[in-house]
């Protein structure tokens, strides 16, 4: 099925890099051979999205990754493993594979040392054959399959995809899961070289397409609101809220706290990852709290949405539901509706609700920490439910520090108006 064009965005984007069309499998067709931003002297004009797709295809077809263990099964311990890279030569447009070894001990110690050494694998299978055996790939910051890699000695080369050894147990019911202990997954990791107009704008369009489709399916299925019975659930939730929460969920809080641009670059980073990976974006991402996927739901919350809104026809399996972006966005809409009802029912300060409604900040706070503390804060501080805690967190704190920081992040990203060029929400 072909994705429909977003006219306003497409007109704007055609000026940057041509017309883009998507199909459901994530294949990208680019017309007019758009230009990618390259260092001076790098003349070829091509789509970075096409090259990412080529790199992913190359890695999927290449031999499985090799890994080494100690001890015997089933208690074998991983010692070191290969990572395969699809490298783009920005002068020629060629894609080739390069493999390295990484030690598990380096990964375990990374938070302490900040160092991971990638050992070249000169005897590894490489296709097409690369004649330059001195390519050193460095880790800028480690993040598993989404690690930021640099190739300082070869500025013409970009990592456009990597194949990463991933524990199969974390893939649950996903179709790519292998029957062995580990599964090779392919992903386009973030880097400054992929932080360009093409990937960022494609990320915006991809999100908008999925959000529109999710809203359309909820309307087709006539899913009604628990907050305002008799009305469609989509009529009470802003698309802007959904867009911004998705970005907020994937902006690193520590990096945001030191940002000097209001979170602009970090937000663009999220959009670049989405644009580069599309239906695979954040598919394998998990949090210490057990949240997963693009929408970062935990299982119990997702299961509640499945049971509370049967007409929504959410995918019943949690892992499959989170991996499907349209389904995950539908769950987000239902979450916001459900918590609007809970806040409205349990808040004693109805004067606040009647005067200002249930604000997006309230819903953002529930997304991070549930509705209980929102209700308690409004009941205690009224209109100052948030400002009192942001300004005097030690003496007035009801929210956890994590939620206060989350709300700061939400407000900053909301103010960036990232999707103004895509179209207006409700």
Residues 185 and 163: beta-carbon distance below 8 Å: yes
Between CA 321 and CA 214 the distance in angstroms is 13
**Contacts within 8 Å (CB) and 24+ apart, 388-393:** none
The per-residue pLDDT string of the chain (426 residues; one tens digit each, 9 = 90 and over) reads 433 333 333 333 333 333 333 332 334 433 233 334 444 444 447 899 999 999 999 999 999 999 999 876 666 789 999 999 999 999 999 999 999 999 999 999 999 999 999 998 877 756 555 555 578 999 999 999 999 999 999 999 999 999 999 999 999 889 999 999 999 999 999 999 999 999 999 999 999 999 999 999 999 999 999 999 999 999 999 999 999 999 999 999 999 999 999 999 999 999 999 999 999 999 999 888 889 999 999 999 999 999 999 999 999 999 999 999 999 999 999 999 999 999 999 999 999 998 889 999 999 999 999 999 999 999 999 999 999 888 887 777 899 999 999 999 999 999 999 999 875 433
At 217, list the tokens. 């399916």
Q: What is the pLDDT of residue 422?
A: 75
By C-alpha distance, which of 281, 302, 280, 307 is closest to 291? 302
At 425, list the tokens. 């929400």
Between CA 34 and CA 49 the distance in angstroms is 10
Residues 321 and 335: beta-carbon distance below 8 Å: no
Between CA 410 and CA 426 the distance in angstroms is 18
Domains assigned to the chain: 56-190 (no CATH), 197-416 (1.10.530.10)
Radius of gyration of the chain (CA): 23
Residues 42 and 90: beta-carbon distance below 8 Å: yes
Q: What is the pLDDT of residue 22?
A: 31
Q: What is the pLDDT of residue 371?
A: 96
Neighbour-count burial of 46, counting CB atoms closer than 10 A to its CB (0-12 exposed, 13-18 middle, 19+ buried) = middle
> Hey, CA dihedral for 88, 89, 91, 92, is it positive or negative?
negative
Backbone angles phi, psi at 231, to 5 degrees: -110, 155
Backbone angles phi, psi at 20, to 5 degrees: -120, 135
Q: What is the pLDDT of residue 425?
A: 37
């Amino acid at each position: 099925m072909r994705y429909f064009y977003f006219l306003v965005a497409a007109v704007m984007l055609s000026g940057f890099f041509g017309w883009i069309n998507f199909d459901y499998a994530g294949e990208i067709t680019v017309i007019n051979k758009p230009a990618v931003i390259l260092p001076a002297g790098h003349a070829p004009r091509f789509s970075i999205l096409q090259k990412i797709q080529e790199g992913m295809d190359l890695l999927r077809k290449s031999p499985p990754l090799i890994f080494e263990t100690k001890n015997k099964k089933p208690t074998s311990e991983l010692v070191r493993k290969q990572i395969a890279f699809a490298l783009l030569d920005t002068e020629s447009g060629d894609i080739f594979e390069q493999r390295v070894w990484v030690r598990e001990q380096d990964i375990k110690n990374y938070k302490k040392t900040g160092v991971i050494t990638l050992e070249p694998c000169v005897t590894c299978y490489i296709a097409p054959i690369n004649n330059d055996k001195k390519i050193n790939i460095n880790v800028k910051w480690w993040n598993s399959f989404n690690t930021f890699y640099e190739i300082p000695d070869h500025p013409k080369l970009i990592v456009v995809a990597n194949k990463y050894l991933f524990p199969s147990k974390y893939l649950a019911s996903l179709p790519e899961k292998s029957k062995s202990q580990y599964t090779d997954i392919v992903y386009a990791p973030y880097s400054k070289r992929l932080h360009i107009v093409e990937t960022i704008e494609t990320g915006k369009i991809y999100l908008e397409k999925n959000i529109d489709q999710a809203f359309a399916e909820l309307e087709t299925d006539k899913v009604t609101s628990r907050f305002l019975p008799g009305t469609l659930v989509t009529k009470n939730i802003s698309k802007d809220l959904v867009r911004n929460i998705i970005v907020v969920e994937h902006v690193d809080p520590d990096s945001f706290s030191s940002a000097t641009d209001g979170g602009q670059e970090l937000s663009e980073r999220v959009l670049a990852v989405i644009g580069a990976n599309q239906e695979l974006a954040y598919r394998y991402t998990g949090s210490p709290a057990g949240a997963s996927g693009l929408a970062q739901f935990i299982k119990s919350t997702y299961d509640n949405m499945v049971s509370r809104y049967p007409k929504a026809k959410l995918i019943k399996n949690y892992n499959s539901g989170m991996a499907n972006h349209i389904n995950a966005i539908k769950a987000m809409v239902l979450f916001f509706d459900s918590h609007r009802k809970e806040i409205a029912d349990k808040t004693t300060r109805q004067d606040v609700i009647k005067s200002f409604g249930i604000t997006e900040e309230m819903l953002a706070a529930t997304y991070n920490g549930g509705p209980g503390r929102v209700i308690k804060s409004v009941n205690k501080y009224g209109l100052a439910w948030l400002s009192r805690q942001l300004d005097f967190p030690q003496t007035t704190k009801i929210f956890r520090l994590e939620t206060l920081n989350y709300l700061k992040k939400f407000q900053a990203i909301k103010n960036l108006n990232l999707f103004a060029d895509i179209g207006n929400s409700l």
